């Protein structure tokens, strides 16, 4: 847990490996959005209702009345319109969202969503932008499903109360554990339902913050996809080696290949040698 000196903003970091030795670790990956913004594929930052944002700024950040008035002036009385070729629509008032491309935008969003982890008392929450991961470990699958269901129901309620929308197409579950323990389960998946009586999909691989996770944390899928990405570049470099000096080839490797390999390498460095040999 990382906190500022005033402890106004808290950021939770994941700890999949710390609970890996238990029987079953379950994770829920949630994505929240809304369709209020005119842009296709709008992000959650575009859907924040301004009057709710005022409440959070005033009650969660310790900001005084005069500063709150300044924030109100900053986000109020804004309008938006659509322009296509020579045609422009009439401007409409912006009732939700924060100014795009602004320095204060990420801060306002962080204040808005900062208390979401308080809903999940029986699990750990990791948030990055509009992606949220909820995970916990229990001795057996029924207990794990019960806790995750309770936590997810709380998140759904929080999202609804804050006028947001849960993107169920991007909300999935994943069950972590050692291969022998997962093999013993008759149904190695999590049954977590939504308020619309649907069941979240359980996946066997999930890309999160640039890393592909798998149930055994072998990072085999991550290394496989990383290798597939690097091989064509290495092939092109090999085919053109006669046109490039050793110094240039080294620079290309350092700038185009090594960043991809080094990203998250402290995480997947513990992968089995059979996977690491591909790199």
Answer positive or negative: Cα dihedral of 181, 183, 187, 189.
positive
pLDDT at 220: 92
Q: Are residues 135 and 250 in the same domain?
A: no
pLDDT at 76: 78
Q: Are residues 184 and 250 in the same domain?
A: no
pLDDT at 29: 60
- Domain boundary residue, one of 172, 193, 213: 213
Q: Are residues 46 and 183 in the same domain?
A: yes
Cβ–Cβ under 8 Å, residues 49 and 60: no
Q: Are residues 7 and 135 in the same domain?
A: yes
- Statement: the pTM of the whole predicted model exceeds 0.75: no
- Domain of 233, in residue numbers: 220-276
Q: Are residues 265 and 208 in the same domain?
A: no
Q: How far apart are CA 47 and CA 38, in angstroms?
A: 10
Q: Are residues 203 and 138 in the same domain?
A: yes
Q: Are residues 143 and 167 in the same domain?
A: yes
pLDDT at 245: 92
pLDDT at 78: 80
Whole-number percent of the chain with pLDDT over 90: 21
Q: Are residues 133 and 161 in the same domain?
A: yes
pLDDT at 79: 82
Regions of the chain short of the pLDDT cut 70: 1-49, 98-101
Q: Are residues 168 and 270 in the same domain?
A: no
Q: Are residues 159 and 247 in the same domain?
A: no
Report the SS3 class of residue 124: strand
Count of domains observed in the chain: 2
pLDDT at 178: 85
């Amino acid at each position: 847990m990382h906190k500022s000196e005033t402890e106004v903003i808290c950021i939770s970091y994941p700890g999949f490996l710390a609970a890996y030795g238990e029987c079953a670790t379950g994770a829920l990956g949630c994505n929240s959005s809304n369709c209020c913004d005119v842009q296709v594929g709008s992000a959650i930052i575009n859907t924040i209702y301004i009057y709710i944002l005022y409440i959070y700024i005033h009650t969660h950040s310790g900001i005084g009345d005069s500063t709150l008035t300044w924030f109100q002036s900053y986000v109020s009385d804004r309008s938006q319109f659509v322009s296509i070729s020579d045609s422009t629509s009439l401007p409409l008032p912006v009732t939700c969202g924060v100014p795009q491309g602004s320095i204060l935008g990420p801060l306002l969003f962080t204040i808005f969503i900062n208390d979401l982890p308080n809903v999940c008392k029986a699990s750990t929450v990791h948030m990055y932008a509009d992606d949220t991961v909820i995970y916990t470990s229990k001795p057996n699958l029924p207990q794990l499903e019960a806790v995750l269901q309770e936590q997810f129901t709380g998140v759904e309620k929080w999202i609804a109360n804050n006028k947001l929308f849960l993107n169920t197409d991007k909300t999935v579950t994943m069950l972590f554990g050692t291969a022998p323990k997962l093999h013993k389960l008759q149904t190695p998946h999590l049954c977590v339902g939504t308020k619309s009586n649907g069941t979240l999909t359980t996946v066997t691989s999930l890309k999160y913050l640039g890393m592909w996770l798998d149930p055994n944390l072998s990072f085999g899928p991550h290394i496989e996809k990383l290798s597939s990405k690097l091989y064509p570049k290495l092939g092109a470099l090999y085919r053109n080696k006669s046109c490039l000096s050793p110094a240039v080839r080294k620079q290309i490797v350092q700038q185009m290949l090594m960043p991809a390999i080094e990203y998250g390498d402290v995480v997947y460095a513990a992968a089995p040698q059979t996977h690491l040999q591909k790199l």
